[in-house]
Structure 1
Amino acid sequence: MLTRSSIKHWYLIHKWTSLICTAFMLLLCLTGLPLIFSDEIDRALGYSVTPPDLPETAERADLDAIISAAKARRPGDAVQFIVADPDEPDLWFVRMAENVAAAKPSAFYAFDARTGDYLYQYPLDQGVMNIMLRLHVDMFAGLWGTLFLGLMGLLLVASLVSGVVLYGPFMRKLAFGAVRRKQSTRLKWLDLHNLLGIATLVWFLVVGATGVINTLATPIFGQWQSGELADMTAPYRTMPPVREPGSVQKALDAARTVAPDMSLGFIAFPGNGFAGPRHFVAFMQGNSPLTSKLLKPVLIDAQTGGVVETRELPWYVTALLISKPLHFGDYGGLPLKIIWALLDILSIAVLGSGLYLWLKKRNVSIEARLDALPNEKEKDCA
């Protein structure tokens, strides 16, 4: 049973966490709405192309030929990753940069995985969707902007939890979900705010919590690189880096021998932070909706093409890999995306109504609000 003092503490927590994070959560919900449909919007804008229809075949183009074709387009740049499209098995992407360790890519080429034909170059740092993504991820402020949004996500979770705690004491005189339509405009907005808040509570908690985890992607992968990956490559630490890697196709074939029931997620090239100076790392993924979001790293000697070691990713990386698609509803195709979008719109209404209630607030102290609550005797007689 909540005491008067504890209700006051929860009220203050809800008030201040909500006030601090609401504007930023509105930004994230507004920018997140089009990002839910980023693949569909990219196709509509012509930023991506569906591979042409061809007779069904299990044959796949040679990765070394695809890499050569990509290098021919940017002779001075290095290949950083080969990436498989999780939603389109007939696409390979080649990410290039000024050097293999560069943080910013210079090109992102798409090739037909069956024929090896060049299809298109995805536009980097261009268009309205890029603006939406940058606002959603870091507000154009880099890592510090990302971590700041993570802090706002924590405040959102605190606001939601405190709102649930307060819902019972402040709404016990009313039936669940009641809206006092004949009362003042502010009371109607308050009831709608509470109703929509309870209706979207679980979804908002899930999206908020996964969003916080996503903001930690850089330190999480940094921990994996300095820990697990460094341990896997430790026996080769004193050897010089590989200048000219061997066959990427041979490396992929070797990875498939130790993970025969998995497909390629992406390959990191030697010198990249995800691979080390002397190895490819093939990140293999499962073939079910859930396991396709999880990765298993396979360390491959970049000269011989032989598998050196494979390990399961630690729990904190697995948590990140699961949270990313869950955050955007990217588990169940278009139907789940539509559900995510509808819940996002309802959450915008919750945040907007909360902001309206604060702007139209009455000068009523928390003590007066507590005095208006029914006491236990009133509750028993009701």
Structure 2
Amino acid sequence: MQATTIRRWSFVHTWTSLICTLFLLMLAITGLPLIFHHELEHLLGEAPELREMPAETPHLDLQQLVSAAERHRPDEVVQYLGWEEDEPSGVVAIMAATAGTEPNSSHTFMLDARTGEAVEMPAANGGLMMFFLRMHVDMFAGLPGKLLLAFMGILFVVAIVSGVVLYSPFMRRLEFAKVRHERSSRTRWLDLHNLIGVVTLSWALMVGITGVISACADLLIEAWRTESLAALVEPYRNAPPLVDAAPASNLVQIATNATPGMQPDFIAFPGTRFSSEHHYSIFMKGSSHLTSHLWTPVLVDASTLEVTAIGGRPWYMDALSLSSPLHFGDYGGRPMQILWAALDVLTIVVLGSGLYLWWVRRRGATSAREVTA
């Protein structure tokens, strides 16, 4: 590689790394506890605990659960009901002052499906784990914060690619993974920085790309609403406002009959951003490990309870659905969590050593100018 080309790639690598490093350090540090969020929620007492009851205790129907939620927060409306994978008798309810209230202003709690009892979820409403999640997702700055982090993620990907370009000719002069312990501290850290960077390369690229996709969630959901959802509800464009929604009791059975072999993940009530003013949207998922993260919306007329449409999945919504569990290592149980945590720590070392190397080089250049002045 020519010297001029190396200098150009070095400039790209240096400045893309420097611009995004502090943000990435924040993301790596806040992301570490999020990998173990289920375990930490229980440890911190932020996870909901349902009462012990006989296994054969029957569940209430959905409308009874909706009524229980409305009794718990009488001045609000139900936006979503979802099923908790780790708690078969738990139904997560999200409520707010209006159906269209933005997510960060909603209140989340769990309903005991057997009794309708409401159990608070501190982790979803301002607990320590929610602090880590908000910092990781948008730095408490909403969409501008998400877009800023998406831009930092793009810079991170460019920094990785440029680092690989620089590393390839560099390693031709050395054995792979060699750390020159006999050289200066800066050289040793450079070798470690390069070595750990190569070891975490594929993971860092994957986490960077999935992070960018997740950070653009609001834009992707709005694109889905504008394109796919708008087409599905076009016949209702001039329909009069919904006055009274039909009871939600049979929604799951209706959606299951429409999508055999699938199971419900969550229900969006009329007026929310995942439904229309005239529909319940029941989001069904597959039964395999992969398809359990892919949604198929079933739109049910909120007045007649007739299925009016079964939505397809645009590629960008599939990418969004898959990016979050892959980003946080939710696919492979405890072994994958441990692997993700180890790679996260190594990434923190890479980021910190990169800052150290830049500082030492800058200080050396300053000292050299002072000597020759």
**Contact 2:95–2:108 (Cα < 8 Å) also in 1:** yes
Q: CA deviation at 1:52?
A: 4.9
Tell me the residue number matched to 2:302: 302
Q: Please say if 1:120 is aligned against 2:119.
A: yes
TM-score, L = length of structure 2: 0.93
- Is it true that 1:203 corresponds to 2:203 in the alignment? yes
- Residue deviations 1:268-308, cap 9 Å, x none? 11111211111100000112221111100000011111111
CA deviation after TM superposition for structure 1 residue 9, in Å:
1.6
2:26 matched to which residue of 1? 27
**Match in the other structure for 2:369:** none
- With over 3 angstroms needed to count, the CA separation of the structure-2 counterparts of 1:141 and 1:107, relative to structure 1, is closer
**Residues 294 and 318 in structure 1, CA contact (< 8 A), matched pair in contact too:** yes
Amino acid of the structure 2 residue aligned with 1:40: E
* Pairs within 5 Å for 1:158-307: 158-307=158-307
- Partners of 1:63 and 1:263 in 2: CA distance: 15
1:82 is matched by which residue type in structure 2?
L
User: For structure 1, which segment, 304-313 or 157-166, has the greater mean C-alpha deviation from structure 2 after superposition?
Assistant: 304-313
Aligned CA-pair RMSD: 1.8
Q: Is the 8 A contact 1:147 1:216 kept in 2?
A: yes
CA distance in 1, matches of 2:40, 2:76: 29
**Stretch moving more, 240-249 or 321-330:** 240-249
The aligned counterpart of 2:324 is 324
Q: 1:171: Cα distance to partner?
A: 2.6
CA distance in 2, matches of 1:364, 1:127: 45
CA distance in structure 2 between the aligned counterparts of 1:23 and 1:196, rounded to whole angstroms: 18
Deviation at 1:51, TM superposition (A): 4.0
**SS at structure 2 position matched to 1:248:** coil
- The AA in structure 1 aligned to 2:342 is L
What is the CA–CA distance in structure 2 between the aligned matches of 1:59 and 1:99, rounded to whole Å? 31
Counterpart in the other structure of 1:371: none
CA contact (8 A) 1:186 1:357 kept: yes
User: Which residue of 2 is the match for residue 94 of structure 1?
Assistant: 93
Q: What residue in structure 2 maps to residue 3 of structure 1?
A: 2
For the residues of structure 2 that align with 1:268 and 1:61, how far apart are their CA atoms?
A: 19
Partner of 1:108: 108
Q: Deviations over 1:19-42 (max 9, x none)?
A: 111111101000000111111111
Q: Residues of 1 paired with 2:260 and 2:57: CA distance? A: 15
Relative distance call for 1:201 and 1:158 in structure 2 (3 A) is same
Q: Normalising by structure 1, what TM-score? A: 0.91
Alpha-carbon distance in 1 for matches of 2:140, 2:93: 25
Letter in 1 for 2:313: L
2:83–2:265 Cα contact (<8 Å) kept? yes
Using the TM superposition, give the Cα deviation of residue 100 of structure 1 relative to its aligned residue in structure 2, in angstroms.
Answer: 0.9
Cα displacement (A) at 1:90: 2.9
Identity %: 45
The 1-side partners of 2:324 and 2:120 are apart by: 25
| Amino acid paired to 1:275 | S
Provide the residue aligned with 1:68 in structure 2: 67
Match of 2:43 in 1: 44
User: How many residues are aligned here?
Assistant: 363
Other structure's SS at 1:352 match: helix
Contact 1:107 1:121 in 2 (8 A): no
CA deviation string 1:50-81 (max 9, x = no partner): 54555555954301111111101111110100
Aligned equivalents of 2:273 and 2:65: distance in 1?
A: 22
Q: Tell me, yes or no, if the aligned pair for 1:251 and 1:302 is still in contact at 8 Å.
A: no
One-letter amino acid of the structure 2 residue matched with residue 313 of structure 1: R
